[in-house]
């Protein structure tokens, strides 16, 4: 005997399931597009939380800070200071990867390379510079890798302040790695350092200089 109520119930359940699957499919597609656009596709496959080296207590500690940031971004910032080769870029990239998978747009900025295209020169007018800088200012999450790597000229400081101040005032998620320790960043520019420190109070990683922590050696 045909049970219309049961039929309608099953039909409703099937439609709900199809809707959920469609939503999941669209979310995955959007996440994949964001990963492709971020400039981090190959890197986030290489650097994950799963393969981050944890043989020392300090490594577990810094990983825990990064994981907490993923769960509690809320317009906040993450900064990783210190020893070269200690896994700062690995952790920051793992964070960026998780945010991308959560459909948060991330833009990667390798400071030493990308800053060159954003500083004044005789070949680029100010209007063009502002046009180039706009995506870095406004993207939902900006990941600055190796801030002030190779030195900090007056032009570098002006550029850093313009980017960081805009993101600071507009509550934009920002991830920063730098070989500079906190006191060294302050010495370069207190205004830049102050804004970074205020926004990263809960998620600041400091790895003291110690060649034993350099995983490349």
Q: Quick check: is 74 in a domain?
A: yes
Q: What is the CATH number of the domain that holds 195?
A: 3.40.50.300
C-alpha to C-alpha distances, 74 to 35, 66, 125, 142, 203, nearest whole angstrom: 21, 14, 36, 14, 12
Q: Quick check: is 111 in a domain?
A: yes
From the list 196, 21, 30, 199, the residue with the least C-alpha distance to 104 is 30
Q: Quick check: is 109 in a domain?
A: yes
Q: Which domain holds residue 71?
A: 39-213
Q: Quick check: is 8 in a domain?
A: no
pLDDT in tens, 29-61: 554 566 666 678 778 889 999 999 999 999 999
Q: Quick check: is 29 in a domain?
A: no
**Total structural domains within the chain:** 1
Read off the pLDDT band of 7 (50, 70, 90): low
Q: Quick check: is 18 in a domain?
A: no
Read off the pLDDT band of 23 (50, 70, 90): very low
Question: Is 34 within 8 Å of 103 (Cβ atoms)?
Answer: yes
Q: Quick check: is 30 in a domain?
A: no
Question: Is 163 within 8 Å of 133 (Cβ atoms)?
Answer: yes
Q: Quick check: is 202 in a domain?
A: yes
pTM value is 0.82
């Amino acid at each position: 005997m045909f049970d219309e109520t049961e039929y309608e119930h099953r039909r409703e359940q099937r439609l709900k399931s199809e809707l959920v699957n469609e939503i999941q499919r669209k979310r995955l597609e959007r996440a994949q597009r964001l990963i492709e656009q971020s400039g981090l596709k190959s890197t986030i496959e290489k650097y994950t939380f799963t393969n981050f080296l944890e043989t020392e207590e300090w490594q577990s500690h810094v990983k825990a800070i990064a994981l907490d940031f993923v769960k509690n971004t809320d317009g906040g910032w993450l900064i990783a200071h210190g020893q070269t080769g200690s896994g700062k870029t690995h952790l920051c990239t793992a964070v960026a990867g998780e945010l991308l998978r959560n459909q948060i747009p991330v833009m990667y900025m390798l400071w030493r390379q990308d800053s060159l295209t954003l500083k004044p020169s005789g070949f680029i007018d100010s209007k063009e510079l502002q046009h180039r800088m706009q995506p870095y200012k406004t993207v939902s999450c900006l990941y600055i890798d190796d801030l002030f790597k190779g030195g900090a000229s007056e032009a570098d400081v002006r550029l850093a302040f313009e980017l960081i101040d805009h993101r600071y005032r507009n509550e934009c998620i920002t991830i920063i790695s730098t070989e500079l320790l906190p006191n060294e960043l302050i010495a370069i520019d207190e205004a830049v350092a102050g804004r970074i420190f205020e926004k990263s109070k809960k998620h600041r990683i400091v790895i003291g200089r110690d060649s034993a922590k350099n995983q490349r050696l």
